[in-house]
Structure 1
């Protein structure tokens, strides 16, 4: 297994645009301070260290989720947590790269 598949960046079954077309919510898993320094408009900030405690809240959104961070590592971890909780999710990688795909 390559590093990209371990962090959820390879083998995407759907594109970012397909997720957005289904009304996806973007969750930025960086710290509050990092998020404050710049983020994707209308994204939600749920830092990685608390995302497990927010799973039920995220499920209630009833939307697919695209997670992002600075480089794709933390969002890869968040992607695994959310998918294992039954949430339709994809790793969008770094927020600036993701923003360019929107």
Structure 2
């Protein structure tokens, strides 16, 4: 992924074109103010994909901790509980 650095004033002067560019190519814009990084601009879908990947990593770490601690539940019990919850939440046709 490409990372570009520009000042806030440069971004403001050409925001529409820059937003089109980051939508078309996976680029991250680092905006600076007084020479210091202040914000990051990236395509929304790119951001969502990164957030989903981060969530998956967090779930994997938590799962590894559960396994190490011996906090395991048999798969058939997990699915039975889910089916029961779904059945309880399903709208009743009277």
TM over 0.5: no
Tell me which protein shows more helix as a share of its residues.
2
Between structure 1 and structure 2, the one with the greater Rg is 2
The structure whose RCO (Cα within 8 Å, separation 6+) is larger is 1
Instruction: With the length of structure 2 as denominator, give the TM-score of the two structures.
Output: 0.30
